[in-house]
Chains A and B, each alone.
Chain A
Amino acid sequence: MRWFTVIHDLSDIDTVDPGLTPPEISRFQGLSRAFKVIDRHRNNVPFTGAYFGNEFCERLLPRPDELEAVLEKMEKKGLSVVFMTPYLTDTGIDRLAALLELLERSDGAEVVLNDWGVTRFVRKNFPGITPVTGRLVSRMLKEVRISSYLKPGKAPPGALDALKDCGYSNSDYDEVLTDHGIGRVEFDIPPQGLAVQLGEGIRKSVHVPFAYIATGRNCMPGSLNAQPVHKFTPATPCTKECTRWLLQMKQKNKTPDPSGDEALLFQRGNTVFFLEEPALIEEVLSGADGNGLDRVVVDAGLFSQREL
């Protein structure tokens, strides 16, 4: 099993292994439990590398000089960089090309692709890059309000099996993956659990402890300071509020946390996230030897506000 951390900010590079339990988030019992599970499985194994970039918003593509700085500093630390990319428009793909040129200089550089068009573009123009299919492509139902439906005897077995699975169990989708040179696909851990069988030779990563529920191009936090005509449109002139702030959300329905803690649900920029259930993190990590899982991406910094 290999462990990767996530770099949110260039200042993270100097403290790339910041510990897995930032103090400001310890008041959430579920989160503390999740990190205890992660810590126990990680067992002080050093990180192999770091994920950098963004999976959710074209506006957060880094500048080439930022990526270059990350690559340089991480190389000095002997750590690899896995570059994350979001859904992109044609304009975004043009911007990405300059970043891919930098990455292609590193032998076997990995890029997480969350858009089939970007995957096609990389396959065609950057054969030296190793493509990884991201969690936005690995579609599953990730609705925390589903928890009551998951109680024993409520849902038929066929429904539960389908909810834990995804489209990759269709052999034709498996062909799409292999046709595009994909050897790794990434997942969150949804409230119903994860039981996806992949085709031969395709490895699996999971992101912990946060999963995304939904994302989109119209950004509420980015619209807060915009003129009414620009609110909630892809053209909102945001000031990247998401890099400094998050919105904690509340729900009345039952939480995915069996202890009864309030669900940790929050929006960062255009994307809503939830805390994965610690028992399911345990279940997935414990089954690591038998289900193709050989990489864990630990994002300790997603639920933190840099300016309060």
Chain B
Amino acid sequence: MKITAPISKPYEVPILAQSGAEEFYCGVVVDEWIGKYDISVWMNRRSPLGANLRGFDELAAVTANAREFGYPVFLTLNSHYYTGEQAHMVVELAKKAADAGVDSFIVGDPGLVKTLSKSGFEGRIFVSTIGSVLNSETARFFVDLGARRIILPRQMTL
């Protein structure tokens, strides 16, 4: 069993790793998104300025710090939905994030799961709690679309 910890600043990685975390997840805000959609339309379910990394340089710093411990970093792309235009933009962001060392993506929107799978990220997609996986059939649904891990809603018993 591994502890997965949220990150909002690169310096948090070694502190959390030394405290027992072995996986990290984070969000990122980028100028392209804010310029087009404003800060009020969130790119993920993390507070845009309070909990997100600011751009790919910070993201690369997080993945570099995690790599020193041999631990992966996951990026949240888990808004409730992405329009066709937004999904196209997010795929380009995912490619840059992968170049910056991100291992997998946390996604809730079935359309985006499929889009990312078709864009070469199949098997690198985790289903967010936003995906509302309350039964085994929904887990199979997302696996069929290319997901590798399911993050269950907090109220589910194991």
Interface residues of A (CB under 8 A from B): 87-90, 92-93, 115-121, 139-141, 149, 155-156, 158-159, 161-163, 165-176, 216-218, 233-234
Contacts A117-B138, A173-B109: A87 and B81 contacting too (C-beta < 8 A)?
A: no
B37, closest chain A residue (CB): A159
| CB-contact partner of B135 in A88, A141, A163, A170, under 8 A | A88
Q: Once the chains bind, are A117 and B136 in contact (CB under 8 Å)? A: yes
Establish whether residues B135 and A117, one from each chain, have CB atoms under 8 Å apart when the complex forms: yes
Please determine whether A139 and B109 come into contact, CB atoms closer than 8 angstroms: yes
Interface residues contributed by chain B, number (CB under 8 Å) = 35
A234 to B157, CA, bound (A): 9
In the complex, whether B40 has a CB less than 8 A from a CB of chain A is yes
Are the CB atoms of A149 and B40 closer together than 8 Å? yes
CA distance A168 to B111 in the complex (A): 8
Give Cα A233–Cα B157 distance, bound, in whole angstroms: 11
Q: Which residues between 112 and 148 of chain B lie within 8 Å of chain A, taking CB atoms? A: 112, 114-115, 118, 132-142, 145
Return the contact of A169 from the options B85, B141, B155 (Cβ within 8 A): B85
The secondary structure that dominates the A interface is helix
B82 adjacent to chain A (CB < 8 Å): yes
Q: Judge whether B38 is part of the interface by a CB distance below 8 angstroms.
A: yes
Known: A161-B83, A169-B83. 10 other contacts (CB 8 A): A90-B137, A115-B132, A115-B134, A115-B135, A139-B109, A159-B40, A162-B37, A173-B111, A175-B114, A216-B155
Contacts of A217 in B (CB 8 A): 153, 155
Contacts of B100 in A (CB 8 A): none
Does B87 count as interface, using CB distance less than 8 angstroms? Answer: yes
- Contact across chains for A172 and B36 when beta carbons are under 8 A apart: no
CA of A147 to CA of B153, assembled, Å: 30
A contact residues around B155 at 8 Å (CB): 216-218, 233-234
